[in-house]
A and B are shown apart, each in its own frame.
Chain A
Amino acid sequence: MTTRSRLRGTALLGTVPFFAYVTIFLVIPTLVVVIGAFASDSNTFTLDNVRSLGDEYVVAAFGRSIALSASSAVIGAVLGALLAYALVTARPSGLLRRTVTAACGVLAQFGGVTLAFAFLATIGLSGFLTVWLQDNGFDLYANGVWLFELPGLTLVYTYFQIPLMVIVFLPALDGIRPQWREATESLGGTTWQYWTRVAGPLLAPAFLGSTLLLFANAFSAYATAAALVSQGSPIVPLQIRGALTSEVVLGQANLGKAMALGMVVVVAVVMTLYSLLQRRTARWLG
């Protein structure tokens, strides 16, 4: 027993660099956020920061963040699922499918400043489409400049949400066997019945799980919004930036940590649900 545990002890040494690194650059920052959320400026325990999360403007920011993430996740999930299904009906190793999946891999990673500028070039105030429409007598922004508000952000976010959906949902669709459809048909089932009774229920957990993943993805996104929006800090990540860098309202660093903690809680809940659904999917489709 002693020799074995000593062996284990030396084996553990091999993992020290990894654990040390992760402790310093991941665990400690996380704890700094958690502890900072409950610390006052003079480093005593306080609930003030967490209580400030109930302030109207913070609640509103969380509300808008959730609305943005939910709408871009649902739109992305529906359109992404359609695209994924379109790919499944193509030849599995064909050029079409390979090109589109590769493109989706790139576009799902495509966020941040470059994406914001892509849309500024398209539907920004002097963007290509805006100017073209104006020349043809149509004002894209007749009812206010929506590009820099939630509708605009939703549109921009779908640009990386749809491809992400394709990537995460494709394996589930691949798991559906053509034989199941044939079986339905030989038993006299219609296409409608096949989708509502067979494929639908099988795919539902995967679809829901993927939608949750998209939600978390949009909820965590910062760079795209930061590059696009400069007024009013509508969503939580921008409020956190404001708490850290504002030259007007000072001393909010710990409120920033409380908001950060709030974000972690939301994302953690969503990701837990996701992994539960994922496990369920894995049982049916393998």
Chain B
Amino acid sequence: MAGVAVRRARRQRAFRWTVLLLLGAFFLFPLFAMIEFSTRDVETWPLLVDWPRLTETYPDLAAGIVASLGQAALTSLLMLVLLVPTAIWVRLRLPKLRPLVEFLCLLPLTIPAIVLVVGLAPVYAWVNYFLGGSSLTLVFAYTILVLPYAYRAIDAGLSAIDVKTLAEAARSLGAGWTTVIWRVVLPNIRSAVLSAAFLTVALVLGEFTIASLLHRTNLQVAIDYLGKSSATMSVAVSLAALLLAFLLLLLLSLFGSRKEKTR
């Protein structure tokens, strides 16, 4: 019996490394090709890290980067303000409404961004009217796009703690609802909130569909346009954006695993 187990373990190890090597090659090769491609012109990378010179040479790209960073920050903020109190409130006071909230939050999964953008056009006519045509107004659409992911993260965070007991304890000590939400529940789901924010940032930095079809700029739109005039630079920026997203989500996963350990 033991012989079988050892043999199987060996077989599994061989299988594991074959799969990992083959697929690893498939996934790493394009990244390697991007490095090769973007270094064909030696000027590319020094230019990319030299912000003042970059702004001058590729003003559209610089504007796109700034717009994307602003969008990412504001979308995270709006998502949290909108979702966290609602999720807590529904759990505490309106449990019967939870399926509806969940349904609405997951709805964007069945509505592709390209479809959403078709319907958003008239809504954005009003957004323009009230707020102007700045790229930052995309934040409203992006908050919808990130709802499913952010909701899942926050909902999982809330499931892991006993919200009701916590709230009742705080209430019996004389705390108001605002205090309960911001001072009692929120600190307990900090890691869930953080992971929702990370996901939001990653998603917003990669968004192209809505920005491009609503005539606004962001990083991806700028990269796409750049690809038509300077191939090497556009590949370099793509690689940089990818590495940045990698770093962000790696941080997130490290954060997630630390949370598990402490529990």
Contacts and interface: CB of A to CB of B under 8 A. Distances in A.
A/B touching: CB–CB < 8 A: yes
Contacts of B250: 102, 106
B119 A89 contact: no
A17 B86 contact: yes
A128 B112 contact: no
Interface stretch (A40-48, A55-63, A143-151, A255-263): A255-263
Contacts of B249: 102, 105-106, 109
A117 B223 contact: yes
Given A24-B123, A83-B20, A120-B235, A263 B36 contact: no
Contacts of A89: 12-13, 15-16
Contacts of B4: 185
Given A15-B86, A118-B238, A79 B23 contact: yes
A183 interface: no
B208 A162 contact: no
Interface string A105-123: 1110111111001111110
Interface in A88-114: 89-90, 96, 98, 100-103, 105-107, 109-114
Contacts of A8: 94
A33 B12 contact: no
Given A18-B83, A26-B144, A128-B36, A162 B104 contact: no
A90 B12 CA distance: 9
A107 B147 CA distance: 20
A249 interface: no
Given A15-B86, A28-B119, A121-B34, A110 B235 contact: no
Interface residues of A, number: 79
B92 to A, nearest CB: 9
B30 A109 contact: no
B157 interface: no
B223 A219 contact: no
A27 to B, nearest CB: 8
A245 B139 CA distance: 23
Interface stretch (B54-62, B164-172, B239-247): B239-247
Given A25-B141, A109-B249, A264-B111, A33 B119 contact: yes
B212 interface: yes
A114 B255 CA distance: 26
B245 A18 contact: no
Which of A100, A122, A237 counts the most chain B CB atoms within 10 A?
A122
A86 B16 CA distance: 5
Which applies to chain B's interface (DSSP): helix, strand, loop or mixed?
helix
Given A105-B249, A112-B206, A227-B224, A159 B111 contact: no
Nearest to A166: B23
B118 A109 contact: no
Interface string B132-169: 00000000110110010000000000000000000000
Contacts of B144: 22, 25-26
Given A82-B23, A105-B249, 20 more contacts: A11-B89, A28-B119, A29-B118, A85-B19, A98-B257, A107-B27, A117-B238, A118-B31, A127-B33, A219-B112, A220-B112, A220-B114, A223-B207, A227-B208, A245-B213, A256-B118, A263-B112, A263-B115, A264-B110, A267-B110
A261 B5 CA distance: 54
B144 to A, nearest CB: 5
Contacts of A159: 26-27, 30
B38 A121 contact: yes
Contacts of B33: 118, 121-122, 127-129
11 contacts: A15-B90, A18-B86, A22-B147, A27-B104, A36-B118, A86-B16, A87-B16, A102-B249, A105-B249, A109-B203, A114-B223
B94 A127 contact: no
A222 B115 CA distance: 10
A31 interface: yes
A21 B82 contact: yes
A15 B12 contact: no
Given A111-B206, A223-B208, A244-B213, A31 B119 contact: yes
A14 interface: yes
A271 interface: yes
